[in-house]
Structure 1
Amino acid sequence: MPKLPDIVRNPLAFIAARWTPSPALVRRAVLAALVMSVVIVVTGGAVRVTASGLGCPTWPTCSGDSLLGTRAMGVHHAIEISNRMLTYVLCATVGWAIIAIRAQAPLRRGVYRLAWAQFWVVVLNAVWGGLTVLTKLNPYVVSFHFLLSAALITVAALTWHRIGEGDASPRPLVGKPVRQLGQVLVAASAVLIVVGTLVSGAGPHPGESTGSYKVQRIDVDWRTVAQLHADFAWVVVGLTVALWFVLRAVDAPVGPQHRVRDLFLVLMGQGVIGYVQYFTHLPAALVDLHMFGACLVWIAVLRVLLSFRERPCAEPGASVPSAAAAPARISL
């Protein structure tokens, strides 16, 4: 049997042997994947608040045997199919990040695994998104769809942070009690997001309002759940303020203090949006903006936790492949 060319057997290794991206290019590629992971949440929210969730009534096709459907299916179809097509853009940006990280010299295996984790979460979430259609927008399935998006943002944000670090063992910048308080903040923020999905699942935006199908809702008063959501929001704000005072008291480095300050500002903006949308009876545009704010809050929380330690930008004695040991590489 003839031997397959290298580019077919291992295309990523083939590219890595001939091209070395600059650190700035790699960081931009990873940032693009993070940005797209937020964009797909915002466009998915737009599908829901515009009642376009069943604009394509089947999956993986849009309608019958048609992958894209037709213009005659109306504006809800256009919104839904646009969100589906953005999944391919997300896959492309994650794929570009994987290629750029793989082509770095030397290969950073931990970061490379994180990049691949993004890809598999994207695949899982795309399949789960199809399940939301097949279950006719079951609110629990839809809620988990958002949580998978939060998982994607988590991995993307961690990859973005790690690409700016070295691979030496992490060194703590703050004491153990401060780190534990940060972990409590992360846990409270995670609960806040989960409760937020319940508000959405019980609220007045089921995702489909054409009258062709009655979408199931979570059988609780959405105002009661919204109050619980607001209570957890204040818990997160309180923990953030407490953490800021503790960091000031122990004279922590400015990095963690700035990250906590950033989180507080994002929380304030998100709180204003949340209360305005509640008292204006959840207008669609504000609901979608609130989902965008939730993404920013989660990223800011993760950045706080990650700021509590540092890794050197380069490990002493790290080996770099010599030019004689590999084919000629193009550096950009």
Structure 2
Amino acid sequence: MPNSLNPFELIARRWQPSARFVQQAALATVVMAVVIVVTGGAVRLTQSGLGCDTWPKCTSGSLTPTSDMGIHSYIEFGNRILTYVLCAVIGLLIIAARARTPVRTSLTRLGWAQFWIVMGNAVVGGITVLTGLNPYIVSSHFLLSSTLLTVAVATWWRAREGDAEPRDLVAVPVRQLTRLLIAATGALIVIGTVVTGAGPHAGDARKVHRIPLNWQEITQLHVDFVYIVLGLTVALWFTLRAVKAPAAQRRTVLELLVVLLLQGVVGYVQYFTHLPEIVVGIHMLGSCLVWIAVLRVLLAQRERAALPAAVPGPTGDHETVQPEPAASSR
């Protein structure tokens, strides 16, 4: 009985993307994940959160904004349109990873994970509008975007390495210190969403429900965690230096430190200038860059070797060449 080909196999027969193309497609998903966060922030900072007053349509009678709705509707709807662009980029990654020989199953799974996170976050975005910008839903919307960014960075990193089992490049205590740094940075970001939910930029000019906390006191807690993350970063750098870790690993920690210091400067500027919209937007971009930098610190502490390349079999199908057993396992 003849084999039926699925669409991915048909594409693979006509197009073999290079490893570099797959890496660039994965990097594009990281860029788009950042763009969707920054543009989502622009919606809130321009008070356009309810520019389209329903979902999935812009109004009850129109899918798109109408001429009498004003600029806020176009800003909010533009952010919705970017979701489709993001899905297209993720789709390109999935197709490229699936078409390449040998198939990068790990990349296609990560690509599909991104797609379903986007779909879930689109629903949360709709709930955000339908609930009149409930601050708790808005916070979960941002945190899901951060989850997307996490998976996108992991996908990009996997596209640059092999598919063999990971091998740790540092000792267990170093990994534990790094995980503590990841946890502290995650807490820093979560507290930042609470500051946003209690702060003055509600997302719409009309009265919007806010988290009933003193946003200045929460901001102080946010600053405290900044110092904790800075301290852990410095401690990790000295630890890596003491154990003579490879220069590439120490460099990722230094890059994180630079990003943290720049983000701290932006944070102080926005606080002492009473939260101007443009500076708050830059701070949101900085939060994405901090998270990317801290994930790179973790991912640089292990490596995956490339699996043996596939070669054409006697029937034209691809067969994987099995490696010889290692000497230690004989």
User: Is 1:315 aligned to residue 311 of structure 2?
Assistant: no
User: Is 1:42 aligned to residue 42 of structure 2?
Assistant: no
Q: Is the 8 A contact 2:133 2:208 kept in 1?
A: yes
User: Is 1:243 aligned to residue 239 of structure 2?
Assistant: no
Q: Is the 8 A contact 1:106 1:321 kept in 2?
A: no
Deviation at 1:16, TM superposition (A): 1.9
Q: 55, 58, 61: which one pairs with 1:59?
A: 55
Aligned position for 1:20: 16
User: Is 1:84 aligned to residue 76 of structure 2?
Assistant: no
- In 1, Cα distance between equivalents of 2:12 and 2:18: 13
Work out the number of aligned pairs and report it: 317
- In 2, Cα distance between equivalents of 1:323 and 1:236: 56
Q: 266, 272, 291: which one pairs with 1:273?
A: 266
Q: Is the 8 A contact 1:146 1:197 kept in 2?
A: yes
Deviation at 1:295, TM superposition (A): 0.4
Aligned position for 2:255: 262
Q: Is the 8 A contact 2:101 2:310 kept in 1?
A: no
Mapping for residues 114-263 of structure 1, pairs under 5 Å: 114-209=110-205, 211=206, 214-263=207-256
User: Is 1:95 aligned to residue 91 of structure 2?
Assistant: yes
Deviation at 1:323, TM superposition (A): 8.7
Q: Is the 8 A contact 1:121 1:148 kept in 2?
A: yes
- In 2, Cα distance between equivalents of 1:300 and 1:326: 41
Aligned position for 2:276: 283
1:179-203 alpha-carbon deviations (Å, 9 max, x no partner): 0000000000000000000000000
- In 1, Cα distance between equivalents of 2:33 and 2:96: 18
Q: Is the 8 A contact 2:97 2:105 kept in 1?
A: no
Q: Is the 8 A contact 1:71 1:78 kept in 2?
A: no
- Structure 1 runs not aligned, ≥5 long: 328-332
TM-score of the aligned structures, taking structure 1 as reference length: 0.92
Deviation at 1:319, TM superposition (A): 2.8
Q: Cα RMSD between the aligned structures?
A: 1.6
1:74-131 alpha-carbon deviations (Å, 9 max, x no partner): 1111110111111111011011111111111111211211111011101111111111
1:10-57 alpha-carbon deviations (Å, 9 max, x no partner): 322221233110111111111111100100000000000110000000
Q: Is the 8 A contact 1:61 1:68 kept in 2?
A: yes
Kindly, what percent of the aligned residue pairs are identical? 60
Structure 1 residue matching 2:291: 3-state secondary structure: helix
Higher RCO (C-alpha 8 Å, min separation 6): 1
Deviation at 1:324, TM superposition (A): 5.0
- In 2, Cα distance between equivalents of 1:11 and 1:138: 42
User: Is 1:296 aligned to residue 289 of structure 2?
Assistant: yes
Aligned position for 2:322: none
Structure 2 residue matching 1:168: 3-state secondary structure: coil
Deviation at 1:322, TM superposition (A): 4.6
Q: Is the 8 A contact 2:167 2:303 kept in 1?
A: yes
- In 2, Cα distance between equivalents of 1:44 and 1:298: 17
